[in-house]
Structure 1
Amino acid sequence: MFTSEVIASLNDLETDIYNYIVTHEKEVTYMRIRELADETHVSTATILRFCKKVGCEGFSEFKTTLKIDLAGRNQTVKSGDHAVFEFFERTLSSDQQALIDSAIHLLTAADSVLFLGIGSSGILAEYGARYFSSLGKFSMYIKDFSYPIHNRLQKNSVSIVLSVSGENSFSIKHINKLKREGSKIISITNHKHSTIAKMSDVNIAYYMTEEYYEDTNITTQVPVIYILETLARTLNQHEQA
């Protein structure tokens, strides 16, 4: 409701109304229009103009929209235990091992491993690079997508791309560049029908129900850690054999 564009369009009086509402949200949902006007020292006409500016026809619709928004933001976070247990059950009884073997075949032949991801996937990509390097496979996490990478490193490399949705535009752009330079692509995504999955030489999907809290994706990343550590340990065993 209060997008950056809407907030930027507010005049001084409307900004005062906005500031009052965001610090008294619950109380406002029970107010009459006259009460809000008195609290913000403006006329009821100004309140109505404010409501229309944020996309509501009137004060009643504004209060209803605010209640729905509050309810969505105050949802309790569900336990992820059941979903994680389901993932491990699927892993133990599925053909995911064949995908792991295909990824190991690419990684064994590579001189270096590049990790890509942003947001929470970026944090795990950094962890993955450190974990692989700790087990003897030179790896780098590309945090700055404008960071120059020598062509020699890309030509005989494998890029491991992490993305829950598999639709991140920054990662897609850099996958294109890496593929042109000869890097093989292994992606770890939530499902195999995403753009990044389709662009990859090997895709390992973990199929977890996506969860959001206050518009932030909070889907558990336990499967990603498991897959990364499995890849690193299996690769180490192959290279030590």
Structure 2
Amino acid sequence: MTQSCLGKIRSYYARFSDKEKKIANYILENPEQIIHCTINEVAEDLDVADATVFRFCKRIGFKGYQAMKIALASEIMTPIQQIHEEITERDSEKTVADKIFRSNIRSLENTLQVLDANSINKAVSILLNAERIEFYGTGGSSMIAMDAYHKFIRTGIKTFAFVDSHFQLMAASQLTSKDAAVVISHSGTNKDTIRILETANENGAKTIGITSFPKSPVSQKADVALITSAEETEYRSEALASRISQLSLIDALYVNIMIKNKEHANRSLEKVRNAISETRM
């Protein structure tokens, strides 16, 4: 699949340095012009070194400037137009709904672009071999952790999640090298979340971080980092928009575990179904 150059730039944008944002803005504003320019011409226009432009191309996942140009040319020549619209006070209710859905679709597409296959493989392996899985998240991320618990309890693997951050820290202190901790934080900088992750690491547990920032403490301290992406608008923070990607990522991990641990998972799922059906009688 051809890499989406513009999608990658938008998804990484909040994490760029000032120089990188300068290059990003130039590409986003002049995509047609870029495909006819040399790296020297772009660097001269922006008053930066050729090496700075080259490093930017590497930063967004391309081997170099030429590889980025090929991807960009392929992208802008397709009939599919990127929809990038801000919500305004003049919008009708239906228009607002349309833009929210399109924003969610973009978040999923951008996350798919930055999702690393090797990281997914490692995360699935950690979860599959864990005796116990605990999901952690504070604030809005605690709801993502509880959703993960609601799914993974069906796998047959011992699974736990707590909303209160103090309970989370106490639970993390009891983890062992046979356990796995999944830490969810959009920013990756929440102090409570970082302490929980550090405690899990200190106890030898395998750790997975789900965050939107590759260079954040959660991403750097976790054994495996899974990166999600979202765009911020005036009425909707990047953190809120990222949740749809986080939920989808949790879904992907859950289904992988169910497939790879099919017999055990099916027995567990049947127990859950029977228990629920009995409450409805």
TM-score (norm. length: structure 2): 0.53
SS at match of 2:163: coil
Structure 2 counterparts to residues 122-141 of structure 1, below 5 A: 122-141=142-161
Measure, in 2, the Cα distance between the counterparts of 1:226 and 1:215: 18
Q: 2:132 aligns with which of 80, 100, 112?
A: 112
Distance between the aligned counterparts of 2:90 and 2:171, measured in 1? 43
The 5 Å alignment of 1:161-180 reads 161-180=183-202
Cα offsets for 1:156-192 (capped at 9, x unmatched): 1111111111111000011111100011111111121
**Equivalent residue for 2:220, pick from 185, 198, 221:** 198
Q: Percent identity?
A: 20
More displaced stretch, 159-168 vs 76-85: 76-85
Rounded Cα–Cα distance in structure 2 between residues aligned with 1:224 and 1:150: 21
CA deviations over 1:107-162 (Å, ceiling 9, x no partner): 11110111110121101101101210123222111323333338664331111111
**Structure 1 Cα separation of the partners of residues 150 and 139 of structure 2:** 17
Cα distance, 1:87–1:153 mapped onto 2, change above 3 Å? same
Q: Distance in 2 between matches of 1:150 and 1:162?
A: 14
Aligned equivalents of 1:183, 1:75: Cα separation in 2: 51
Other structure's SS at 2:156 match? coil
Give the structure 1 partner of residue 120 of structure 2: 100
Gap runs ≥5 in structure 1:
1-73
Amino acid at match of 1:85: I
- Which whole-Å CA distance do the structure 2 matches of 1:75 and 1:203 have between them? 40
Which residue identity does 2:127 align to in structure 1?
Answer: L
CA RMSD of aligned residues (A): 2.9
- The 1:124/1:214 distance shift into structure 2, 3 A limit, reads closer
Q: Tell whether 2:206 aligns with 1:184.
A: yes
User: Counterpart of 2:153 in structure 1: which amino acid?
Assistant: S
Distance, in Å, in 1 between the alignment partners of 2:260 and 2:107 is: 25
Tell me, which stretches of 5 or more residues in structure 2 are unaligned? 1-88, 264-281
Specify whether residues 219 and 150 from structure 1 end up closer, same or farther in structure 2 by C-alpha distance, changes over 3 A only.
Answer: closer
Q: What are the superposed Cα offsets for residues 172-230 of structure 1, whole Å, 9 maximum, x if unpaired?
A: 01111110001111111112121111111111111212356598953341111110011
Q: 1:20 maps to which residue?
A: none
Q: Name the SS for the 1:146 alignment partner.
A: helix
Answering whether residue 249 of structure 2 is matched by residue 227 of structure 1, we say: yes
C-alpha spacing 1:87/1:183, structure 2 compared with 1 (3 Å) = same
- Structure with higher Rg: it is 1
Aligned to 1:160: 182
TM-score, scaled to structure 1 = 0.60
